[in-house]
Amino acid sequence: MFKGLLGKKLGMTQVFDEDGVAIPVTIIEAGPCFVTQIRTLNKEGYSAVQLGYIEVAEKKLSKGQLGHLNHKKLPPLRYLREFRSKNPEVKVGDKVDVSLFETGKRVDVIGMSKGKGFAGTVKRYHFKGGPKTHGQSDRHRAPGSVGATTTPGRVFKGKKMAGHMGNERVSSQNIKVVMINAEKNLIAVNGSIPGPKGGLVMIKEARKL
C-alpha cells in the first residue's frame, strides 16, 4: 500500500505524554494531495506515484504543467513530487490525506535545509581553526593546508573547504508520529525536521525500521 504525502512545515512545539513528560514535536500540515500520475515498470522503467499539492492560480504554472494536469482533469497544483512504490493501490485523481499514517508508526521526512550562503570551514564543517598565540595573527579561522606537494600535486576532489552551505536535500529517518489531527490535516512528528517554516516536505513510510 502506498504511503506518502507532501506537506508544509508549520513549526515546533511540545506535547505531553501520559507520564507528563514533555516531547518536542514538529507540526506539519500534510495534504490533502492529489494523485497526478502513476508511473509503471513497463512504460517508464520504474514504479512510482506522483502527487500534487497546494492549489494555485493557473497563471502561476507553465503551459506544460497545466497541460499535464488538465489532461487528467485535475486542479492547478503548485508542487509535483514522486514517491517510489511497487504496489501503489491508488489511481489518478485520488485524494490522499493524513489518514494514510498512524500514531506511533515511524516515517521518513525529506526537505530542503536552510540556505546559509557562503560559509567558511569553521562554520560549514566545524573546523577547529588555528592557534590563538605564537605569532598567529590572522589564521584563527583558516582551514590550514589543503594539499600535498609534488605528489599528487593537486587538491583532491571532495576536500572540505569554504563554499555554499545549506540549501540541499536532507532526510530525517525513523521519526515517530506523535499525533495526527485528520480534521485539520496536521501531523506531529517527534523532534526536528529539515527546512524553514513554510518549507515543503515529503513524508513517507520509514525504510529502515
Burial of 95 (0-12, 13-18, 19+ CB in 10 A): exposed
Q: Going edge to edge, which strands form the sheet with 33-39?
A: 77-84, 48-55, 33-39, 95-96
CATH 3.30.160.810 intervals, the chain: 4-115+175-205
Which residue from 71, 37, 34 is spatially nearest to 55, judged by alpha carbons? 34
Burial of 76 (0-12, 13-18, 19+ CB in 10 A): middle
Say yes or no to pLDDT of 209 above 80.
no
pTM: 0.85
Say yes or no to pLDDT of 89 above 90.
no
Query: Is 69 within 8 Å of 36 (Cβ atoms)?
Result: yes
**Tens digit of each residue's pLDDT (9 = 90 or more) over 122-144:** 999 999 999 989 988 888 999 98
d(CA 188, CA 11): 10
Domain covering 4-115+175-205 in this structure, CATH number? 3.30.160.810
